[in-house]
A and B are shown apart, each in its own frame.
Chain A
Amino acid sequence: MKLNINGKDQEYAGEEDRPLLWYLREDLRLTGTKYGCGVAACGACTVLVDGQPTRACVTPAASLAGKKITTIEGLDTPAGKAVQQAWTELDVVQCGWCQSGQMLAATALLTTTPKPNEQQITDGMTGNVCRCATYHRIRGAVARASEIMG
């Protein structure tokens, strides 16, 4: 079956139950999508499926035929670019492992809610765990990305 990943069709012929995460990382070598928990509890593996933030660690690749999948490597929407610029400006990252997922979650939030208030930022981002606790800067960077988007 064909999966559309970052605008490119990919042939998937793997196991029915194999999560998208491992297909991205091991077969396609798109390693920007990270493994953190394997049970949809931390958000490190967040990708966009038709624009919706989705946990790649529990979503079988075989369930995504015909869907548009966006990973950090293909984040080229205005919201996505603004997010990466804001993350850079504010030096949000520490270890960096969760940040692809954080940036994808922020992109999804800003795509539907371009001018989020503080509570909307919290609600949009609280599913993504950061053990370095960069939350303080993530909060600021989402607001800054919103500003950049104009």
Chain B
Amino acid sequence: MADTASFTPSRRLVLTVMGLGAAGFAVGCSAGAPPITGPVTQTALGDYVRIGSDNTVTVYLRHIEFGQGISTGLTTIVAEEIDADWSQMRFEHSPADNAKYGNPAFGGMMGTGGSTAIFTSWQQLRAAGASAREMLRQAAAKKFGVDASDVLLVKGKAEAGGKSATYGELAAEAAKITPPDVTTLQYKDASAYAFIGKERTEGFGRLDTPDKVHAKAAYALDYRPEGTLTAVLLRSPKFGGKVASFDDSAAKAVKGVTDVVQISNGVAVVATDFWAAKKGREALKVTWDDSAAETRSSDAIFADYKKTFAKSGYEARKEGAGVSALRGAGEVVTADFEFPYLVHAPMEPLNCVIEYTPGVSATIHSGSQMPTGDQAAACAVLGLKPEQVTIVTMLAGGSFGRRATPDADLVSEAAQVAKALNGKAPLKFMWTREDDIRSGKYRPMSVHRMSARLNKGAIEYWGDTTAIQSIMEGTPFLPPGAVDTSSIEGGFDIPYAIPNIAVDLHLVKAPTSVLWWRSVGHTHTAYAKEHFLDVLAKKLGKDPVAYRRELLAKEPRLLGVLNLVAEKAGWGTPLPAGKFRGVAVHHSFSSYVAEVAEVSVNADGAFHVDRVVCAVDCGIVINPDIVRAQMEGGIGYGLSAIVGEALTLKDGAPVQSNFYDYTPLRMAQMPKIEVFMVQSTEAPSGVGEPGVPPIGPAVANALLAATGKTYAKLPLGAKA
């Protein structure tokens, strides 16, 4: 992963003046700016900033907004350096263009993920804002007939010698100014920040709130041009199954069904509307060829995974004597941790709309998390060039990783159907919730065999052996021949000062498709690491917080969040009968989070997580309330999985279908949450994922405190 220091801001500050019609699909806040009459022109000052004749400042997002608040975060960075007024700020998703909008953490490919947006954009957008500001300053100096150094820029206006002009009035002239050399740009001192670090209650709320509260936000599923046909796809019930033959006579007899077409991985039913397409699919008869399909059930897969432990795996970490230190004086402790497949289940199921003119063009409206990957997939299927395929990135109703598909499964399937229809109508391609739950791309299931040797009141050896399917193998994100250690990120880099450590990895093959799920490898490594540590601490008679402090003496940022959470949670103070605390601390995606869970455990074993206190160190805080929101949401998302989520296979087919048996967290299970941020001058890092990993082990550690048991099989269910 690239770090911020190695990233050079774009020097290609190309200046263009364009009409709004060419500007793509605008979304954003509607607060503040007075209405204007007549056409609005947009003036680009570089690749990221456009200023409207209506005095709006629009920031191009190379990352998709799907709830994490990035539309506000990135816009804040520009607003700060350009000296804007908050009410004039807008955002818009950028076009698909790796050269301008690639993610340096993704090898220059566009994409949102790994909590990299703030981390990789910080310096780049400060430069974009500061550069635009200097161009506006020069334009104002020329207009006012004064020296540039005499121009004061404040809240979207330039002032000098009693004269004043808005950015909207200066933009066209500013676009003619040669952009400054980025190495000469001066940035605001943190003490002068007017936007960064400011609170919702001070007027710096999310820019996407008004539209989302008033049903004006534009998602892909809401886009439906006149004459649109809707398609749903019948896929193999078992992973790896193929279409042998099909009978579409009953499907075609359903009123509204227009076409039935076979594509690479199933048979699509196309109709005038969703309900007709769904009924058509229910009437479709397909015979499947299961010769290469998964046939095992989850229990058998876990058993197979454990068989791999008979041999040693890829050595991902060795400290001291490594695995040979398992033998020696003292007590050996082992536990097998089993993690199920998990479904992302974003509230807006996958969908896109393709408007295709054969041989000419395609326009795809989609909640695209990897727009240039989606573009390439459409090009491959439709035989078009990238410049002929326009990706219009819409707001997405969640993702949690599901829309970031290296194989562009959604767009590939949709494009195949569009091709079969030869562009006769705009095509809306939809996944139902059942498709979402049953059709794969899961958080991989895994087994961690944890082992330790305790001697003389300390952990002398720590072992963590994992069997899991790789997410990155076969994708452009992993060089050929490299080992996908992202599967055990957070495990092989265990930060505790233990003299002998062995972490090894067994990558297994299976037909079931897997994908990164909010916090990726950390979803299971943090659980195994942090819960097993408490199991050992208990055997050693050590307090979980005190023991972590000992083992993290050389990890100041982990220690910082640990100390903060312990203080705020009142660690060590008495709790009412039946209540127990658990702690966990974890570093992921360049941020540091510690959480303390307070859990009520009844006499019958039923438990409820009442309160979670969270401490986060994500460097400079761009927007504290969004950090808070991401910690709250991350805790809820992680808790949902460890309490009640599992996708299990029976004879190769998923058992669960929808939210009645794949059961997400609901209001009644949601704890009260308090979030505290470490004051920091470090470069800002992401918050979308880092809140997730600690909650599972924090809860398990509270249950361990209550019952003395190890909680090694997930999900936990509602009973301790």
* Residues in chain A within 8 A of chain B (CB atoms): 15, 17-19, 22, 25-26, 29, 31-32, 34-39, 41-42, 44, 71-73, 84, 87-88, 90-100, 103, 121-123, 125-139
Contacts and interface: CB of A to CB of B under 8 A. Distances in A.
Interface in B381-424: 395-400
Nearest to B214: A84
Nearest to B217: A96
B209 A133 contact: no
Contacts of A138: 667
Contacts of B219: 31, 97
Contacts of A15: 255, 275-276
A93 B660 contact: no
Of the listed residues B222, B346, B348, B349, the one surrounded by the most CB atoms of chain A closer than 10 A to its CB is: B348
Contacts of B667: 121-122, 125-126, 128, 135, 138-139
Contacts of B603: none
B209 A88 contact: yes
A29 B223 CA distance: 9
Interface of B: 66-69, 200, 205-206, 208-210, 212-215, 217, 219, 221-222, 224, 255, 273-276, 345-349, 395-400, 432-434, 625, 629, 632-637, 639-640, 658-660, 664-668, 670, 672-673
Given A129-B659, A136-B670, 12 more contacts: A22-B274, A41-B659, A87-B209, A88-B209, A88-B213, A97-B346, A97-B397, A97-B398, A126-B667, A131-B345, A132-B398, A137-B632
B633 A132 contact: yes
Contact of B632 (A18, A87, A133): A133
Of the listed residues B400, B635, B659, the one surrounded by the most CB atoms of chain A closer than 10 A to its CB is: B659
B347 A131 contact: yes
Contact of B209 (A34, A71, A91): A91
Contacts of A34: 221, 347-348, 397
A132 B67 contact: yes
A39 B433 CA distance: 9
A131 B664 contact: yes
9 contacts: A26-B273, A34-B221, A36-B433, A37-B658, A87-B213, A95-B346, A131-B640, A133-B636, A135-B665
A53 B633 CA distance: 25
A92 B629 CA distance: 8
Contacts of B396: 95
B672 A136 contact: yes
Contacts of A137: 629, 632
A141 B38 CA distance: 39
A88 B212 CA distance: 9
Given A22-B273, A26-B274, A133-B640, A94 B670 contact: no
A131 B666 contact: no
A97 B213 contact: no
A139 B672 CA distance: 10
Contact of A134 (B345, B632, B639, B666): B632
A136 to B, nearest CB: 5
Given A41-B658, A44-B347, A126-B668, A93 B212 contact: yes
A91 B66 contact: no
A32 to B, nearest CB: 3
B640 A95 contact: no
Contacts of B346: 95, 97, 131
A95 B666 contact: no
Contacts of A26: 224, 273-274
A139 B273 CA distance: 36
A34 B351 CA distance: 13
A133 B670 contact: yes
A117 to B, nearest CB: 14
B395 A96 contact: yes
Contacts of B209: 87-88, 91-93
A39 B348 CA distance: 14
Contact of B68 (A35, A44, A94): A94
A90 B660 CA distance: 30
Of the listed residues A22, A39, A94, the one surrounded by the most CB atoms of chain B closer than 10 A to its CB is: A94
Contacts of A128: 666-667
A122 B668 contact: yes
A134 to B, nearest CB: 7
Given A93-B206, A93-B213, A129 B666 contact: yes
Given A31-B222, A34-B397, A137-B629, A72 B215 contact: yes
Contact of A35 (B205, B213, B349, B636): B349
Contacts of B348: 34-36, 95, 97
A93 B635 CA distance: 16
Contacts of B395: 95-96
Contact of A37 (B398, B632, B659): B659
A37 B433 contact: yes
A58 B548 CA distance: 52
Nearest to B346: A131
A36 B660 CA distance: 12
A141 to B, nearest CB: 10
B445 to A, nearest CB: 20
Contacts of A19: 275
Contacts of A44: 347
Contacts of A92: 209, 213
Of the listed residues A17, A31, A96, A122, the one surrounded by the most CB atoms of chain B closer than 10 A to its CB is: A96
A126 B666 contact: yes
